[in-house]
Chain A
Amino acid sequence: MTDEMPAHAKDRLKGLRSSAHATGVFTSDFSVNEFLLVRKAGFEPIGLCVGTCVYHVGIQYRSWSKNQELDVLSKAMYHARELAMSRMRAEATAMGADGIVGVKLTIKRLEWDEHLLEFIAIGTGVVHGEGHTGFRAHDGGPFTSDLSGQDFWSLLHSGYRPVEMVMGSCVYHVAHRGILAGLASVGQNVELENYTSAMYEAREIAIDRMQYEAEAAKAEGVVGVDIHEGSHGWQTHVIEFFAIGTAVLPLAEEIAPEKIPNPVMVLSVND
């Protein structure tokens, strides 16, 4: 990387900024450290990108005593997230961003109607300082990533670049007791096999869907995978299993391998 930014890149940045923000001001939700590291990685923030979606979740009948995926709810969670994410991405595209870092995806319940959920995706659109377009996703649009600015820098320096935030969801109804009734009096610890297998099935469906999305994005791997469970105000035995991560590809020519520093081992003296 040269110290001087080329003139055409400067022009391009100026143009981008003025088209999205008449004042030439960039907006971001970066902390100071994040801002410095994103710039150190060779990127400039250009603006916050937001996508929202208020979604009415349909009704699904379920049998009280059965383990089953609630596909109406699974599809709703997928569709609503997809809408919020694609709106955010469209905003980034309009700004001319090469990618969005630090995407936060949240779900809120609207208090007056239990079937209404509000999905919000928010992140900071960035452009490469030298106008390198090799960082874009496989479809030529901006990459998306839930990694923070610090993680973004670290990822690039481990020889990978983010491609797409990938996720898998499975809303699952875990059977109520019934099989338990007979066990309650028995004085021993036993495994509840149908609960265990419910966890296995639901989790596997979620992970498999996430991995499928990564395949579709032509990624080599997925970092920062988080597998967790949430209940968005549903009845107690309905749980969403959610797998999320950032699909990555190895850097080809974007950063030369010799520029990647050897990591320094540190023992933190903070507690």
Chain B
Amino acid sequence: MGIFDIFSGPDADTVARRAAHDERIADIEESLRNGGVPAAIKDRLEGARSGRRPWTATLRPAELLIARSHGLKPIAAISATCWLHYGWSWTNGHSEGWNMALSRMREEALAAGANAVLDVKMRTIPLDVENSMDFTLVGTAVHVEGLPPSREPIIATVPALEFVKLLEADVVPTGIAIGAYYEWMNDWLNNTNLTWMGNIESERLSQLWEHVRQRAHQNLRTNARAQGNGVLAHLNFSEMFEREGQNKQKQYLARHIVVATTVDAKRGTTIPHEVRMVVDMHAGRSPLVGTAQHHQSYASNESEGAI
């Protein structure tokens, strides 16, 4: 549409595009509300599963190699989003948001005929919309050779290499567990004012932190128990704020969020391989090293100048 076209009204192409947009949006909203997968996505996943269209995978080539040698066939890169407005609680919203995104990702994995989703990354788009945030997951749906499509696909936040390493050690990564907790504290007696006290612990604030962290981890355990018997690779996020309430008395908000990969591990089994020392030829982001970059939603994922 050029600059003068706004006077002559939309052309046929624009009209068709708008109609397609309205139809797509209606379908997406309808599907998500009913816990289903939008038609366009379903069609793409079906095409990739049947081989009618190319498969897609977020895996790097080294991961593709290990996936193939262990009978994992990539089907499609899948994703899920929940954009949540936290009118009630920011902290609890994080638990709700991720859990909603997880269940949507599970639906997409089902539609792709997958047994598991690997390499699941937690992401957030840096778009500042008041009191809200999006919870986005991106990963690769895979089919495990010799197994029928699963009714309950595994969501694994580890890269393919680590997924295989875990499986070889008889450990199954099963999902994501979230523990979130916050608490307000009113400092009625001005106990946090320690101006003339010299070196001394601020006991009220220590207690607040202790309590909030313990409760968050308690929530994490409850959430994890439904999915497996252990968690790995913690991500911790915490914040504390001070504000002045009525009568100039201080109020403190402490919040703590823990996110972790849940695993189902048989106790007492060790890896069947010898550990060997090797030189890693990868530059920079070696898939051998950690999963830190996988949970980047609590730091900006926007890199200046990159595509």
> Which residues of A are in contact with B by a Cβ distance under 8 Å?
31, 33-34, 36-37, 59-61, 67-69, 71-72, 105-108, 147-148, 150-152, 154-155, 157-160, 174, 177, 180, 183-201, 203-204, 207-208, 210-211, 214-215, 219-231, 236-237, 239, 242-245, 247, 262-271
Contact = CB atoms under 8 A, between A and B. Distances in A.
Contacts of B134: 195-196, 199
A152 B62 CA distance: 9
Given A203-B81, A270-B280, 9 more contacts: A106-B306, A174-B129, A180-B85, A204-B44, A208-B40, A219-B54, A221-B74, A225-B57, A264-B276
Contacts of A105: 307
Interface in B120-168: 125-132, 134, 136, 138, 140, 164-165, 168
Nearest to A181: B130
Contacts of A69: 17, 21
Contacts of B243: none
A190 B97 CA distance: 10
B197 interface: no
B64 interface: yes
B46 interface: no
B53 interface: yes
Residues of B contacting A: mostly: mixed
B307 A223 contact: no
Interface string B156-184: 00000000110010000000000000000
B58 interface: yes
Contact of B82 (A194, A196, A231): A196
A12 B64 CA distance: 34
A71 to B, nearest CB: 7
Interface string B18-61: 00010011001100110000101100100010000111111111
Closest 10 CB pairs of A and B: A158-B65, A155-B61, A195-B83, A154-B61, A221-B55, A268-B288, A154-B62, A197-B28, A214-B54, A196-B83
Interface of B: 1, 3, 6, 17, 21, 24-25, 28-29, 32-33, 38, 40-41, 44, 48, 53-62, 64-66, 68-69, 74, 77, 79, 81-89, 92-93, 96, 100, 125-132, 134, 136, 138, 140, 164-165, 168, 271, 273, 275-278, 280-283, 286, 288-290, 301-302, 305-307
A270 B276 CA distance: 12
A190 B85 contact: yes
B125 A247 contact: no
A268 B280 contact: yes
Contacts of A195: 83, 129, 132, 134
Contacts, number: 229
B61 A147 contact: yes
Contacts of A264: 276, 278
Contacts of A67: 25
Nearest to A265: B273
B32 A196 contact: yes
Nearest to B24: A201
A89 to B, nearest CB: 17
Contact of A107 (B62, B77, B307): B307
Contacts of B131: 180, 184
A269 B41 CA distance: 41
Q: Which of A188, A223, A244, A264 has its CB near the most chain B CB atoms (within 10 A)?
A: A223
B62 A151 contact: yes
Residues of A contacting B: mostly: mixed
Contacts of A266: 276, 278, 288
Contact of A207 (B56, B92, B282): B56
B68 A158 contact: yes
Q: Which of B85, B168, B278, B286 has its CB near the most chain A CB atoms (within 10 A)?
A: B85
A80 B66 CA distance: 36
B87 A184 contact: yes
A180 B57 CA distance: 36
Contacts of B168: 265
Given A155-B64, A266-B278, A267-B275, A193 B29 contact: yes
28 contacts: A33-B281, A59-B3, A67-B25, A71-B1, A71-B17, A148-B283, A150-B283, A154-B64, A188-B88, A189-B85, A190-B85, A191-B85, A192-B83, A192-B84, A193-B29, A193-B33, A199-B83, A199-B125, A207-B56, A221-B57, A229-B126, A236-B128, A243-B77, A247-B54, A267-B165, A267-B273, A268-B286, A269-B275
Given A67-B25, A69-B21, A225-B56, A190 B83 contact: no
A210 to B, nearest CB: 8
Given A33-B282, A223-B64, A229-B125, A197 B74 contact: no
Given A31-B283, A222-B55, A224-B60, A177 B130 contact: yes
Nearest to A119: B307
Given A204-B41, A239-B127, A227 B79 contact: yes
